[in-house]
């Protein structure tokens, strides 16, 4: 066998507050973004994935960065105005108790990281990717430290509870949860801990992301696990869930050379920030992004369904036909969808080839395997919208 995981000596890995809990539950731990994280538990990736779509999955995502932006003088509106210097979304009109998806951009219009921004009334709360949190903090400090105090929250953990039973589980601790809609955020006391809860996630399912003080994380996790519907879910299933949901992974599907328009994320750029809007542009790379909004990007992120049973993985080249040497695209994420029951992938293709139904060929192990451009998500979202 090749490619069996082997123990390699790396720089010392960090641990989240739930490390011992993961070990207690039989987790297989792997290095991820400088942390020792559970890739799966005894159930395995397939069962953990299916459990999340039928019951409630509990994920430790404490490795991600939580950063508060607090106004130095003035109000949270001033912080929002300042943050709009760094992101293409409308943050100024993001209401109190609401959250929005956006990205930090670079001067080429590429993506430095994708982030969630929430308005907590007297501050903004950002959740950023683990692998980029240090650079994100530096970037924000270098631009915004005049306008706001930038407060990373390393003493807070982050848990996600996702799936059709998540609401029932959480509302047993606070019945008010049932009034939350997708992308609402509020302070909630759960199992004796002061949490900040958003109705959002990375699985396509209805669910919640729960920020909790680090010293209360284990007792919160145990309280949630005491519900028979709840099971711990590892990063392996987190990845198959998000890919079925058509959601991007920074570092795979998004990077500094990819614009939000190429990434088919222009829905996150509200009208006020587009050409003709009241606060058009004004973020790094705005000229590139606004030009692509006007005339279309050169390439486009699409879903891909292999016609056979072999998965087609990230890094695979895509060709217009079975012979011929000019690639028309590249796969950026690929694997197998347990709910879909089939292989699935996402990648970027030339704009002319981006229409659903377009057939192309993936170069896999010396063969050209047929794949078809397919709409995303592969599995419908079940968000609880207004």
Partner 1 sequence: MDRKFTEDHEWLSVDGDVATVGITQHAQSQLGDLVFVELPQVGRSVSKSEAVAVVESVKAASDVYSPLTGEVVAVNDAVVADPALVNTDPENGAWLFKVRMASPSELDSMMDEAGYQQLIA
Compute the least distance from the CB of residue 3 to partner 1, in Å: 5
> DSSP states of 55-66 as a string?
SEEEEE-TTSEE
Compute the least distance from the CB of residue 1 to partner 1, in Å: 5
Structure tokens at 124: 């903004």
Compute the least distance from the CB of residue 125 to partner 1, in Å: 32
Kindly determine how many residues on this chain lie close enough to bind partner 1 according to the rule CB under 8 A. Answer: 23
Quick check: 8 binds partner 1 (CB under 8 A)? no
Compute the least distance from the CB of residue 378 to partner 1, in Å: 14
Q: Determine the straight-line distance between the first and last CA of the chain, rounded to whole angstroms.
A: 51
Distance separating alpha carbons of residues 376 and 303, to the nearest angstrom:
6
Give the nearer residue to partner 1 in terms of CB position, either 39 or 289.
39
Considering only the stretches 62-70, 201-209, 266-274, 336-344, report the one whose residues sit in contact with partner 1 under the rule CB under 8 A. Answer: 336-344
Residue 281 phi/psi, 5-degree rounding, is: 65, -150
Distance separating alpha carbons of residues 301 and 331, to the nearest angstrom:
9
- 172 by Cβ neighbours in 10 Å (0-12 / 13-18 / 19+) ranks as middle
Residues ≥6 apart with Cβ < 8 Å to 80: 91, 92, 94, 119, 124
Residue with tokens 């400090």: 141
Give the nearer residue to partner 1 in terms of CB position, either 234 or 260.
234
Quick check: 4 binds partner 1 (CB under 8 A)? yes
Structure tokens at 137: 């903090």
Compute the least distance from the CB of residue 375 to partner 1, in Å: 22
Give the nearer residue to partner 1 in terms of CB position, either 88 or 343.
343
Q: Report the residue from 311, 328, 360, 374 that binds partner 1 according to the rule CB under 8 A.
A: 311
Quick check: 240 binds partner 1 (CB under 8 A)? yes
Quick check: 236 binds partner 1 (CB under 8 A)? yes
Give the nearer residue to partner 1 in terms of CB position, either 36 or 239.
239
Q: DSSP code of 102?
A: E
SS3 label, residue 27:
coil
Q: Are 163 and 178 in contact (CB under 8 A)?
A: no
Distance separating alpha carbons of residues 214 and 157, to the nearest angstrom:
5
Compute the least distance from the CB of residue 343 to partner 1, in Å: 7
Q: Which of residues 42-61 bind partner 1 (CB under 8 A)?
A: 44-47
Compute the least distance from the CB of residue 208 to partner 1, in Å: 25
Q: Report the residue from 70, 313, 381, 384 that binds partner 1 according to the rule CB under 8 A.
A: 313
Considering only the stretches 220-228, 280-288, 331-339, 353-361, report the one whose residues sit in contact with partner 1 under the rule CB under 8 A. Answer: 331-339
Quick check: 310 binds partner 1 (CB under 8 A)? yes
Distance separating alpha carbons of residues 119 and 122, to the nearest angstrom:
8
Give the nearer residue to partner 1 in terms of CB position, either 69 or 344.
344
Compute the least distance from the CB of residue 130 to partner 1, in Å: 18
Structure tokens at 48: 């953990």
Q: Report the residue from 3, 7, 9, 73 that binds partner 1 according to the rule CB under 8 A.
A: 3
Considering only the stretches 9-17, 39-47, 156-164, 189-197, report the one whose residues sit in contact with partner 1 under the rule CB under 8 A. Answer: 39-47
Give the nearer residue to partner 1 in terms of CB position, either 30 or 191.
30
Give the nearer residue to partner 1 in terms of CB position, either 241 or 265.
241
> DSSP states of 295-333 as a string?
H--SEEEEEEEESSSS---TT-EEESSSS-S-EEEEEEE
Q: What is the dihedral of CA 222, 224, 229, 231, to 10 degrees?
A: -50
Residues ≥6 apart with Cβ < 8 Å to 4: none
Considering only the stretches 52-60, 128-136, 203-211, 335-343, report the one whose residues sit in contact with partner 1 under the rule CB under 8 A. Answer: 335-343
Residues ≥6 apart with Cβ < 8 Å to 83: 69, 91, 117, 124, 144
Compute the least distance from the CB of residue 239 to partner 1, in Å: 8
Compute the least distance from the CB of residue 23 to partner 1, in Å: 17
Binding site for partner 1 (CB under 8 A): 1-5, 39-40, 44-47, 236, 239-240, 309-311, 313, 335-336, 338, 343, 365
């Amino acid at each position: 066998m090749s490619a069996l995981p082997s123990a390699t000596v790396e720089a010392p890995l960090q641990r989240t507050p739930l490390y011992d809990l993961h070990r207690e539950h039989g987790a297989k731990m792997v290095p991820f973004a400088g942390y020792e994280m559970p890739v799966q538990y005894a159930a395995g990736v397939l069962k953990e994935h299916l459990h999340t779509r039928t019951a409630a999955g509990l994920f430790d995502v404490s490795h991600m960065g939580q950063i508060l932006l607090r106004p130095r003088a003035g109000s949270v509106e001033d912080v929002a105005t300042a943050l709009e210097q760094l992101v293409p979304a409308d943050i100024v009109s993001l209401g109190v108790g609401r959250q929005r998806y956006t990205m930090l951009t670079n001067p080429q219009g590429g993506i430095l990281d994708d982030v969630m921004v929430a308005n907590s009334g007297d501050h903004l709360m950002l959740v950023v990717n683990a692998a980029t949190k240090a650079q994100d903090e530096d970037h924000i400090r270098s631009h915004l430290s005049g306008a706001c105090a930038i407060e990373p929250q390393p003493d807070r953990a982050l848990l996600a509870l996702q799936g059709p039973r998540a609401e029932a589980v959480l509302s047993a601790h606070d019945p008010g949860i049932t009034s939350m809609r997708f992308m609402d955020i509020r302070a909630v006391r759960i199992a004796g801990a002061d949490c900040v809860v958003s109705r959002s996630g990375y699985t396509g399912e209805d669910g919640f992301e729960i920020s909790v003080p680090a010293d209360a994380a284990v007792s919160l996790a145990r309280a949630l696990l005491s519900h028979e519907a709840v099971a711990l879910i590892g990063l392996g299933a987190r990845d198959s869930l998000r890919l079925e949901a058509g959601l991007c992974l920074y570092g795979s599907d998004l990077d500094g050379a990819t614009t939000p328009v190429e990434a088919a994320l222009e829905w996150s750029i509200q009208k006020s920030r587009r050409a003709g809007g009241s606060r058009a542009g004004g973020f790094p790379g705005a000229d590139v992004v606004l030009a692509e909004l006007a005339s279309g990007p050169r390439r486009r992120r699409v879903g891909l369904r292999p016609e056979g049973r072999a998965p087609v993985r990230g890094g695979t080249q895509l060709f217009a036909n079975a012979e011929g040497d000019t690639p028309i695209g590249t796969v950026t994420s690929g694997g197998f969808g347990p709910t879909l029951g089939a292989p699935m992938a996402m990648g970027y293709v030339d704009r002319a080839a981006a229409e659903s139904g377009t057939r192309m060929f993936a170069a896999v192990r010396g063969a050209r395997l047929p794949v078809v451009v397919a709409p995303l998500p592969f599995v419908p979202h079940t968000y609880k919208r207004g």
